[in-house]
């Protein structure tokens, strides 16, 4: 690298600083310049987010890298780079594991990284993140001038500072989310996952969250099973002025009809047999915050009427009490049912439907999110890596293709389960724990969908009604058959059948009950329903 080539590469970036271009494009140009100047096989720009480094842009690394979060405490090289006073190059015999082992693209097998260096970026005197450079050959970086690398890093810092200012709006939403996360952590619950994705459909969803989150509108979150409705609700709460107050959830499907009402509104002592003490309902617990009614389509009609009254006048009564409480609660509800159809079928009150759906928000199915599948896969594999205690877990090219080609009827939840199983299967093929675990297409087990598996285990005649029968009954017949087959394939184990069908166990039981199938009693036995 000569001073001239350095200047030639840096000048366009300096010019970019004053232009309005999307951050992703800005970062791409930066990495592009770095790769033209330095003989690296892979470069990455990572931003420090709490205790983790999040890749914002990568060049030469597997696409799923963008979905990963590298916990600094778990990656000693990244930690050393962050702490160094200037650029740092690791000695070839440095024993520290490399976070990118196996992730460098266009290499058959998984050659470990051999030459590696990087530089911390500081913005306004605070650590902002890292730029890392990796080469697969030893001594590749021998001729690199560290002063030039420092200049590049300074320019990179200016670039990210500019990008951040221009991305101010998005940052504010993220800030709110971080505050909410702190609140949740302080409250002792597990921190929420981030909503991973970059597709147009995903970005449109984020825009809607940023738009409606800060308002007090009641939001009805819809979408197929496993699309991430619960995470969306958390993001809505985090983006609201109520973020510092509790987000209280009630799963309407998981409770028997008699308990839903007392869960929502609370009860006084003696209100019903078993009500031995006075109890606050979820509405009161959520005062000042957000109440999340999950699976709201399952709410019994009688409770729907009471809920509507509370929403209309903001007053609620505990069961068995005649005293009225005033609560300040923002309501968010979710369902994977077509509530409009439920209204037409008389199972859901039209007035409540309109009240809940002040702002309907539809979460797109995974099959409409393109390459987000790979980002999500990266995020889930990073979790697997940590829980299995591995150096790294990567997807080979065929596995990536298989993930992109699958239709994902169970959406993100199905993807998460598929990858958890695949990592275990891939690990099972090794006698010794490998440093980089490679997941292949075969490990994913996507060729045989659960239903096909069930048919293979328990062959059953197809008894589906013919085309003269109304659609609804045909769908129900199909659902009944799919559930029976999954149960047969898993020896009547409801949890296993639910996993195979990629639905919540509680939802499966609820659906089975609606379809008139025998469902497990509370103590786990199978009991017929009336
Ligand atoms: N965009 C995303 N990024 C990261 N994880 C996600 C994303 N979307 C969903 N998930 C994960 O996928 C799983 C399913 O999501 P969630 O429980 O929110 O689905 P749901 O829409 O509520 O489904 P159901 O209707 O069956 O209740 C969860 O583990 C969630 O953390
Ligand atoms: Mg849910």
Q: What is the 3-state secondary structure (H, E, C) of 157-193?
A: HHHHHHHHHHCHHHHHHHHHHHHHHHHHHHCCCCCCC
> Are 83 and 71 in contact, with CB atoms under 8 Å apart?
no
CB burial of residue 375 (10 Å; 0-12, 13-18, 19+): buried
Q: For residue 70, which of 392, 506, 478, 424 has the smallest C-alpha distance? A: 392
- For ligand 1, whether the C-beta of 228 sits within 6 Å is yes
Residue of 203, 222, 227, 387 to mutate, ligand 1, most atoms within 8 A of C-beta = 227
Spatial distance between the Cα atoms of 254 and 507, rounded to a whole number of angstroms: 8
Ligand 1 and 297: CB distance under 6 A = no
Q: What is the pLDDT along the chain (530 residues), one digit of tens a residue?
A: 676 777 777 777 777 776 767 777 888 888 888 888 888 889 999 999 999 999 989 998 888 888 999 999 999 999 999 999 889 998 877 888 888 877 877 655 556 667 889 999 988 788 889 999 988 888 888 888 888 888 888 888 888 887 777 665 554 555 555 455 555 555 554 446 789 999 999 999 999 999 999 999 999 999 999 999 999 999 999 999 999 888 999 888 877 777 788 888 888 777 777 666 777 888 888 889 999 999 999 888 888 988 888 888 777 877 777 778 888 899 999 999 999 999 999 999 999 999 998 899 999 999 999 999 999 999 999 988 888 888 889 999 999 999 999 999 999 999 999 999 999 999 988 888 888 899 999 999 886 444 444 333 333 444 456 666 677 777 888 888 899 888 888 778 888 899 889 888 888 988 888 888 878 765 444 444 43
Q: State whether the beta carbon of 67 lies less than 6 angstroms from ligand 1.
A: no
Reduced to 3 states (helix: H, G, I; strand: E, B; else coil), residue 481 is helix
Q: Is 197 in the pocket of ligand 1 (CB under 6 A)?
A: yes
CB 445 within 8 A of CB 426: no
For 69, phi then psi, to 5°, come to -125, 125
Are the beta carbons of 219 and 359 closer than 8 angstroms? yes
From residue 305, give the alpha-carbon distance in Å to each of 248, 253, 309, 371: 21, 17, 6, 43
**Is the beta carbon of 420 within 6 A of some atom in ligand 1?**
no
Q: What is the DSSP string of 123-153?
A: ETTEEEEEEEEEESSTTTTTT--HHHHHHHH
Question: What are the tens digits of pLDDT across the range 160-188?
Answer: 887 777 665 554 555 555 455 555 555 55
Cα 258 to Cα 203, 271, 284, 301, 325, distances in angstroms: 41, 12, 19, 12, 22
d(CA 320, CA 370): 52
Return the residue whose CA atom lies nearest to atom 28 of ligand 1.
Answer: 413
Specify the residue with its C-alpha closest to ligand 1, atom 24: 225
Helix (H) or strand (E) holding 210: helix 200-212
Among the bound ligands, the one closest to the CA of 205: 1
Indicate if ligand 1 lies below 6 Å from the C-beta of 372.
Answer: no
Atom of ligand 1 nearest to the CA of 202: 1
* Predicted local distance difference test score (pLDDT) of residue 108: 56
Cβ–ligand 1 distance for 231 under 6 Å, the answer yes
| Mutation choice for ligand 1 from 230, 333, 414, 504, CB with most ligand atoms inside 8 A | 230
- pLDDT at residue 26, rounded to an integer: 81
* Mutational test site, ligand 1, from 196, 209, 231, 370, max ligand atoms within 8 Å of CB: 231
List of residues 6+ apart from 64 with CB closer than 8 A: 374, 375, 377, 378, 381, 394, 395, 400
Which atom from ligand 1 is nearest to the alpha carbon of 230? 18
CA distance 323 to 325: 7
Residue 146 Cβ < 6 Å to ligand 1: no
Cβ of residue 226 lying under 6 Å from some atom of ligand 1: yes
Decide whether any atom of ligand 1 lies within 6 Å of the 193 Cβ.
yes
Cβ(196) – ligand 1 distance below 6 Å: yes
Q: Atom 6 in ligand 1: which residue has the minimum CA distance? A: 228
What CA–CA distance (Å, rounded) separates 507 from 513? 10
Half-sphere exposure of 298 (CA within 13 A, CB side): 23
Residue pair 141/135 in contact (Cβ under 8 Å)? The answer is yes
The span from the CA of 368 to the CA of 137, in Å, is: 40
Residue 453 Cβ inside 6 Å of ligand 1? The answer reads no
What's the 229 CA to ligand 2 centre distance in angstroms? Answer: 6
Nearest-CA residue for ligand 1 atom 16 is 228
Residue to substitute in 412, 420, 509 for testing ligand 1 pocket (most ligand atoms within 8 angstroms of CB): 412
Mutate to test the pocket of ligand 1, among 193, 363, 369 (most ligand atoms within 8 A of CB): 193
Ligand 1 lined by 378 (C-beta under 6 Å): no
For residue 194, how far is its CA from the centre of ligand 2 (angstroms)? 16
């Amino acid at each position: 690298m000569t001073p001239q080539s350095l200047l030639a590469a840096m000048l366009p970036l300096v010019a970019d600083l004053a232009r309005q271009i999307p951050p992703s494009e800005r970062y791409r140009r930066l990495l592009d310049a770095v790769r033209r100047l330095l003989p690296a096989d892979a470069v990455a720009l990572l931003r420090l987010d709490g205790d983790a480094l999040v890749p914002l842009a990568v060049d030469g690394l597997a696409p799923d890298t963008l979905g990963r979060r590298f916990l600094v405490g778990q990656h000693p090289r990244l930690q050393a780079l962050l702490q160094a006073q200037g650029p740092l190059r690791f000695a070839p015999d440095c024993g520290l594991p490399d976070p990118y082992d196996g992730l460098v693209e266009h290499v058959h097998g998984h050659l470990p990284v051999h030459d590696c260096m990087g530089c911390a970026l500081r913005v306004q005197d605070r650590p902002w993140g890292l730029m890392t450079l990796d080469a697969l050959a030893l001594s590749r970086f021998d001729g690199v001038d560290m002063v030039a690398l420092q200049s590049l890093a300074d320019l990179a810092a200016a670039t990210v500072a500019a990008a951040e200012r221009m991305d101010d709006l998005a940052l504010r939403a993220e800030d709110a989310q971080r505050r909410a996360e702190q609140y949740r952590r302080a409250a002792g619950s597990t921190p929420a996952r981030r909503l991973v994705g970059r597709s147009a459909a995903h970005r449109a969803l984020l825009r809607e969250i940023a738009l409606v989150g800060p308002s007090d509108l009641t939001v009805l979150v819809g979408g197929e099973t496993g699309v991430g409705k619960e995470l969306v609700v958390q993001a809505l709460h985090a983006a609201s002025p109520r973020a510092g107050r509790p987000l209280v959830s009630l799963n309407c499907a998981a409770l028997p009809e008699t308990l839903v009402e007392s869960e929502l509104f609370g009860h006084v002592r003696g209100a019903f047999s078993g009500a031995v003490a006075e109890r606050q309902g979820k509405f009161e617990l959520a005062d000042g915050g957000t109440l999340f009614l999950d699976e709201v389509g399952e709410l019994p009609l009688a409770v729907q009427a009471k809920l509507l009254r509370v929403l209309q006048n903001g007053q609620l009564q505990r069961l068995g009490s005649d005293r009225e409480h005033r609560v300040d609660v923002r309501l968010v509800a979710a369902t994977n049912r077509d509530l409009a159809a439920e209204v037409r079928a008389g199972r859901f009150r039209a007035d409540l439907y309109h009240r809940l759906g002040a702002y309907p928000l539809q979460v797109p199915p995974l099959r409409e999110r393109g390459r987000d599948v790979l980002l999500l896969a990266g995020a889930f594999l990073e979790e697997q890596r940590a829980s299995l205690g591995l150096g790294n877990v990567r997807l080979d090219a065929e596995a990536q293709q298989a993930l992109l080609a699958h239709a994902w009827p169970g959406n993100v939840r199905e993807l998460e389960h598929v990858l958890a199983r695949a990592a275990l299967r891939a690990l099972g093929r090794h006698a010794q724990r490998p440093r980089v675990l490679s997941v292949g297409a075969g490990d994913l087990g996507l060729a045989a969908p659960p239903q096909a598996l069930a048919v293979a285990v328990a062959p059953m005649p197809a008894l589906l009604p013919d085309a003269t029968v109304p659609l609804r009954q045909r769908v129900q017949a199909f659902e009944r058959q799919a559930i029976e087959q999954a149960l047969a394939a898993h020896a009547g184990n409801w949890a296993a059948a639910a996993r195979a069908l990629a639905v919540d166990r509680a939802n499966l039981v609820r659906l089975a009950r609606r379809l008139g199938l025998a469902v497990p009693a509370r103590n786990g036995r199978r009991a017929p329903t009336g």
